[in-house]
């Protein structure tokens, strides 16, 4: 079984460009989470999506950032007009359901996309 697949692994963008990060969850998982890891920091929650719905975007900046998880295809994290402060590793994680019992449905993480803004 393939795990969570993220691409690209590395992405370089100039200031003002758009960055699109893709995440294919584990087959059969319908819940996707995006986390951001700034240098020397832990992972910070950004957004939680189910198929075609954003459930919790409390950790996502209000401007320039958006996320989607369409009925078909991967989840996309989109950053418009990138700035140097957006440089980070972005991780996607998936789970089969959003029960409180995360012990039984732990998050499966991808290997992340490292975004560098020059």
Partner 1 sequence: AQTVTQSQPEMSVQEAETVTLSCTYDTSESDYYLFWYKQPPSRQMILVIRQEAYKQQNATENRFSVNFQKAAKSFSLKISDSQLGDAAMYFCAANYGGATNKLIFGTGTLLAVQP
Binding site for partner 1 (CB under 8 A): 31, 33, 35, 40-45, 48, 55-56, 59, 89, 91, 93, 95, 98-100, 102-103, 105-107, 109, 111-112, 114
Query: What is the smallest separation between the CB atom of 88 and partner 1, expressed in angstroms?
Result: 12
* Other beta carbons less than 10 A from residue 97's beta carbon: 11
Query: What is the smallest separation between the CB atom of 109 and partner 1, expressed in angstroms?
Result: 4
Query: What is the smallest separation between the CB atom of 33 and partner 1, expressed in angstroms?
Result: 6
HSE (side-chain half, CA atoms, 13 Å) at 36: 18
Taking phi over 0 as left and psi of -120 to 50 as alpha, with beta for the rest, 33 belongs to: beta
Q: Which is nearer to partner 1, 98 or 116 (CB)?
A: 98
Q: Which is nearer to partner 1, 44 or 78 (CB)?
A: 44
Q: Which is nearer to partner 1, 24 or 95 (CB)?
A: 95
Strands (E), 1-112: 5-7, 10-13, 19-24, 31-37, 43-50, 53-56, 65-68, 75-79, 88-95, 108-109
Query: What is the smallest separation between the CB atom of 103 and partner 1, expressed in angstroms?
Result: 5
């Amino acid at each position: 079984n393939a795990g969570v697949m993220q691409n690209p692994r590395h992405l370089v963008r100039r200031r003002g460009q758009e960055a699109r990060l893709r995440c294919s969850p584990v087959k059969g998982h319908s819940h996707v989470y995006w986390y951001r890891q700034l240098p020397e920091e832990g992972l910070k929650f950004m957004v939680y999506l189910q198929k075609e719905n954003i459930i919790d975007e409390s950790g996502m900046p209000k401007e320039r950032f958006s996320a989607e998880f369409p009925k078909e295809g991967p989840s996309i994290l989109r950053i418009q007009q990138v700035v140097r402060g957006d440089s980070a590793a972005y991780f996607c994680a998936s789970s089969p359901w959003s029960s409180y019992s995360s012990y039984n449905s732990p998050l499966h993480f991808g290997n992340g996309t490292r975004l560098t803004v020059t």
